[in-house]
């Protein structure tokens, strides 16, 4: 509010000036009109204020720059001034209205509240006397209310204040409120004791039940739930529910007690209103989300139905009863996963706009964070998955085949999306990343065999003084003696190298067992039989290394080329 300070000495010097008399008269008129004196009739007050506003050039137009001020009586907000009126700031308007209304409420009148419409705004009156003036600038710009609705709300609040003012003077009604508050307190104390006792009883009963049930839940002979963990979880859940119920009872008790007295009744109404608003907001949100949630559920049900339509086809192909082009027993499992994942991802994309909270900034932020985490941390995971898909669809290796990968030899027990499991003949299970399998040389002992089984091979080195035909015959005989080695196709011996001191013989045969441990047992039995055969024919399994040339040449004479068990063909 603009304030004009005038020096009294200057006014005394200029007191004889005629224009000074007119100026003082106008200022006095504006001051009297802005104070809203009750001695004048309401219509005369409003007309005087309007005349002063139109006649006085010193009154500036209202500017909505002053902070708003609320008129509160008995803890109730009657109205909120948001703009100056006739040069008076909202705070000063609120102060004057508060003082004047206290004076009016102290009188013993009928307490009838009315609203009168004037050109300047709406005048709220008590028993025909002006209580406050609301202008169009006092309407909340953020809300959807009009000036008439704002005046009606002020009228309702003022009627509440008048009724509570009279109630505060009525000793019988105050005593009644006090009795109700005492009774509510006693009931509240009883409920607290009942809840605490029920909390302990329920906790003990649930703990006993969960302890007995937890001992019965076993998987493969192992107890699924631990008793102490179950007791801790149950105790925590019961305590949490008990404290939540106690908090709700305390909230309702405080709201009820505060509502029994006029001065604290607005606080009780605010507590009850806030709780009711929370319940209404939650209920409205749930009811509003049900249609969209139904659409999202329908989309997921359609996706599940489509996957179920493909399931019988995949099952037949997996059992080997049918094939569909490139889709066979080796590729049906990864194909099933890819198709199912694609369908669920498509359903999730379609249902995303219908999920509750999907349009909120928090949901969007979490989605961006998850996408960033996946893009930064899943690069190696994507590489492993791509390697697994390549291994499956190119049929490089299959489950049940005996292979050697990166120096590790064993039977493939699982060909997964991200790793491959191999079980060795020594009872070890190796898990190798699919990227390692893709980047290593894989030796498959099961792929090139005729019929069932896999390849078994071993290497021996014998000196040049032993006929190679004899060595081959002894190795083949050792293979025929070994249980599990097939006679058809027959074992073969290859001379893979002629080293400086000895030739290298490689025995290759085919064995029937497909499990990893029998394969190791077959190889062990084959090595034992090779030693026995060589010992029977008096041939040393030795790889000589010379320090000097012998006195006589080391060679095999032609007469000894077909030494037993070798036969001349």
Domains of the chain, by residue range, sit at 8-168, 171-263, 387-444, 454-560
pLDDT one-digit tens code per residue, 119-142: 778 888 887 777 788 888 888 877
What is the pLDDT at residue 65?
A: 54
Calculate the CA 95 to chain-centre distance: 52
The predicted-structure confidence for 288-345, as pLDDT tens digits, reads as follows 778 888 898 999 999 999 998 888 888 887 777 776 766 767 677 778 888 888 899 8
**pLDDT, position 62:** 45
Average pLDDT, the chain: 75
Are 121 and 147 within 8 A, CB to CB?
A: yes
Q: How far apart are CA 469 and CA 477, in angstroms?
A: 12
Cis omega before residue 489 (within 30°)?
A: yes
Give the pair of three-digit tokens for residue 166: 């009279």
Count CB atoms within 10 A of the CB of residue 300.
14
| Relative orientation angle of helices 332-351 and 265-318, to the nearest 10 degrees | 150
pLDDT value at residue 223: 53
Whole-model pTM: value is 0.42
Give 387-444's CATH code, choosing from 2.30.30.60, 3.40.640.10, 3.40.50.970, 2.40.50.140. 2.30.30.60
Looking at residue 408, its pLDDT comes to: 81
Pairing type for strands 402-405 and 492-498 reads unpaired
Least confident residue range of 189-203, 267-281, 431-445: 267-281
Q: Is the peptide bond before 74 cis (omega within 30 degrees of 0)?
A: no
d(CA 329, CA 395): 11
DSSP at 353: G
Q: Per-residue confidence at 13, pLDDT binned at 50, 70, 90? A: very low
Task: Give the C-alpha separation, 329 to 461, whole Å.
Answer: 43
CA 530 to chain centroid, in Å, comes to 64
pLDDT of residue 215: 58
Q: What percent of the chain has pLDDT over 70?
A: 78
CA 228 from chain center: how many Å? 29
Q: Answer yes or no: is pLDDT of 431 > 80.
A: yes
The tokens for 60 are 């500036």
Fold of 454-560: Alpha-Beta Plaits (3.30.70)
- Give percent of the chain above pLDDT 90: 9
Cβ distance 162 to 154 under 8 Å? no
Query: Mean per-residue pLDDT for 222-237?
Result: 67
Which pLDDT score, from 0 to 100, does residue 285 have? 76
Q: Are 71 and 79 in contact (CB under 8 A)?
A: yes
């Amino acid at each position: 509010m603009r304030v004009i300070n005038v020096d009294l000495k200057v006014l005394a010097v200029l007191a004889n000036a005629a224009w000074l008399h007119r100026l003082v008269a106008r200022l006095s008129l504006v001051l009297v009109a802005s104070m809203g004196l009750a001695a004048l009739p309401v219509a005369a007050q409003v007309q005087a204020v309007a005349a002063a506003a139109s006649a006085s050039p010193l009154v500036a137009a209202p500017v909505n720059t002053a902070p708003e001020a609320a008129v509160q009586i008995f803890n109730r907000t009657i109205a909120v001034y948001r703009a100056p009126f006739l040069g008076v700031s909202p705070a000063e308007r609120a102060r004057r209205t508060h003082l004047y209304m206290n004076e009016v409420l102290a009188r013993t009148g009928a307490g009838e509240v009315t609203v009168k419409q004037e050109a300047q705004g709406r005048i709220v009156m008590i028993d025909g006397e002006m209580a406050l003036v609301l202008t169009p600038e006092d309407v909340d710009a953020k809300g959807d209310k009009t000036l008439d609705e704002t005046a009606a709300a002020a009228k309702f609040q003022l009627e509440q204040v008048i009724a509570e003012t009279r109630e505060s003077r009525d000793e019988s009604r105050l005593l009644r409120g006090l009795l109700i508050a005492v009774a509510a307190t006693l009931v509240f104390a009883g409920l607290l004791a009942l809840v605490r006792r029920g909390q302990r009883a329920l906790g003990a009963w649930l703990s006993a039940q969960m302890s007995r049930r937890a001992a019965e839940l076993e998987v493969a002979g192992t107890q699924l739930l631990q008793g102490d963990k179950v007791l801790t979880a149950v105790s925590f859940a019961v305590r949490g529910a008990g404290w939540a119920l106690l908090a709700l009872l305390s909230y309702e008790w405080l709201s009820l007690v505060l509502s029994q007295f006029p001065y604290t009744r607005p606080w009780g109404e605010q507590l009850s209103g806030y709780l009711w608003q929370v319940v209404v907001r939650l209920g409205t949100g749930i009811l509003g989300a049900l249609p969209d949630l139904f659409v999202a559920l329908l989309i997921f049900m359609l996706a599940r139905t489509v996957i179920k339509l493909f399931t019988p086809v995949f099952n037949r192909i997996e059992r080997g009863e049918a094939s569909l082009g490139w889709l066979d027993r080796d590729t049906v499992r990864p194909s099933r996963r890819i198709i199912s994942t694609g369908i669920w991802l498509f359903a999730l994309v379609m249902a995303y706009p219908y999920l509750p909270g999907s349009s909120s900034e928090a949901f969007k932020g979490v989605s961006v964070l998850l996408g960033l985490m996946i893009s930064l941390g899943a690069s190696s995971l994507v590489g492993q998955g791509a390697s697994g898909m390549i291994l499956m669809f190119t049929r490089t290796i299959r489950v049940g085949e005996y292979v050697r990968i990166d120096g590790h030899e064993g039977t493939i027990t699982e060909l997964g999306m991200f790793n491959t499991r191999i079980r060795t003949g020594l009872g070890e299970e190796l898990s190798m990343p699919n990227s390692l399998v893709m980047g290593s040389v894989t030796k498959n002992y099961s792929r090139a065999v005729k019929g069932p089984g896999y390849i078994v091979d071993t290497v021996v080195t014998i000196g040049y003084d032993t006929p190679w035909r004899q060595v081959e015959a002894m190795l083949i005989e050792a293979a025929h003696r070994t249980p599990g080695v097939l006679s058809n196709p027959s074992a073969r011996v290859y001379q893979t190298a002629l080293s400086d001191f000895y030739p290298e013989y490689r025995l290759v045969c085919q064995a029937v067992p497909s499990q990893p441990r029998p394969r190791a047992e077959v190889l062990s039995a084959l090595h034992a039989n090779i030693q026995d055969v060589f010992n029977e024919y008096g041939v040393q399994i030795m790889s000589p290394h010379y320090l000097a040339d012998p006195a006589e040449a080391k060679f095999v004479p032609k007469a000894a080329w077909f030494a037993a068990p070798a036969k001349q063909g």
